[in-house]
Amino acid sequence: MTDEEIIQEIKENDIIITGDVIRDPNRDGILLIFVEINRDIENKQRPSNALLRKISENLLSKDVNVDFILVDRTKNDIEAGARASLIHSFGDLIRNSFLSMTDKTVSVWIDVKRDITSEEANKIRGKMKLYFDSFELNFLDIFLTKRENTPAKLACLRNLRTISPASVKDLSEKLAKSGFIVPSETWLSHRLDSLRKSNLVLRLKSGAYAVTQQGLSLLGTQKNSRSPDITRLLDLARRGD
């Protein structure tokens, strides 16, 4: 099939293709197709991954091997598009992803379901490079959250207790000063939301977060000058609260 015939067959499923068909430089015989996605009123991805897999399988039966790169241009949400593309192509490997951006350089932080091989990591890198090239951004590399010194839930609670109520930005800075690596504020927001669902933190109307009584009970107390509650009082004094 020619590129035009491939595009036409995909478009018959009411799919919007952006850009030209690209031959994957890292995987022989695979064509990369940029597909525009959006969200319906129930926040479900359209076109769905199930539909895209069906199209891929149909084309494969005609000896055409395609891989879709999903681009969320309706909201211009680069992070959402990268996540959607990764989960579509590597759903058996990747649970979630987050971006760290400095100027026009992007790093991708990946939460994996299992250990990945160097070959799988290189495939992910190749796809991400092509994705960010479409936005004229420089792709640095992928990082696995489980291998880096990212803060666990208890570390987030301990640090939040000393400065609460605190915004995501404030907590991110506090964690960084404590020696942790925070991939992005979006990543930290997901972590805090998980703690909120476990009734360990509370999100105030202001958008700031505070540790709940249940969270305080989980952390326990210290009866000395290094007590986190004393640290919090000193922090409030410094801030003039």
pLDDT, residue 224, reads 45
pLDDT reading at 48 higher than 80 = yes
CB 175 within 8 A of CB 151: yes
Q: How far is CA 179 from the centre of its chain?
A: 22
Q: What is the mean pLDDT of residues 105-113?
A: 91
Range 32-54 average pLDDT: 86
pLDDT at site 139 = 93
Min mean pLDDT across 66-75, 118-127, 211-220 is at 66-75
For the stretch 168-206, pLDDT in tens is 999 999 999 999 989 888 899 989 999 999 999 999 989
Residue of 62 and 102 predicted with greater confidence: 62
pLDDT for residue 221: 57
Instruction: Give the predicted TM-score (pTM) of the model.
Output: 0.62
Which of 185-220 are b and which e, b meaning 16 or more Cβ less than 10 Å from the residue's Cβ?
Answer: ebbbbebbeebeeeebbbbeeeebbbbbeebbeebe
Taking CB atoms within 8 Å and a gap of at least 24, the contacts of 22-31 are 22/130, 24/67, 24/126, 24/130, 25/126, 26/122, 26/123, 26/126, 27/67, 27/123, 27/126, 29/65, 30/65, 30/66, 30/67, 31/3, 31/6, 31/64, 31/65, 31/66, 31/67
Beta-strand relationship, 209-211 and 138-144 = unpaired
> Which residue ranges form the domains of the chain, and what is each CATH number?
3-144 (no CATH), 153-239 (1.10.10.10)
pLDDT at 229: 52
Which residue from 96, 43, 36 is spatially nearest to 70, judged by alpha carbons? Answer: 36
- pLDDT score recorded for residue 74: 56
CA distance 183 to 189: 11
Please name the residues in contact with 233: beta carbons below 8 A apart, sequence gap of 6 or more: none
Q: What is the pLDDT of residue 94?
A: 93
Mean pLDDT computed over every residue of the chain: 84
Percentage, residues of the chain above pLDDT 90: 36
- Rounded to whole angstroms, the Cα distance separating 31 from 12 reads 18
pLDDT of residue 236: 43
Q: Can you tell me the mean pLDDT for 207-213?
A: 92
Please tell me which residue, 152 or 25, carries the higher pLDDT value. 152
Q: Report the pLDDT value the prediction gives residue 196, as an integer from 0 to 100.
A: 92
Q: What is the pLDDT of residues 151-162, one digit of tens each?
A: 988 999 999 999
pLDDT value at residue 223: 47
DSSP code at position 137 = -
The strand pairing partners of 35, in sequence order, are 17, 70
CB 181 within 8 A of CB 150: yes
- Can you tell me the distance from the alpha carbon of 240 to that of 86, in angstroms, rounded to the nearest whole number? 45
Cβ atoms 36, 73 nearer than 8 A: yes
* Maximum Cα–Cα distance across the chain: 74
User: What is d(CA 134, CA 68) in angstroms, rounded to the nearest whole number?
Assistant: 14
Mean of the pLDDT values across residues 233-240? 46
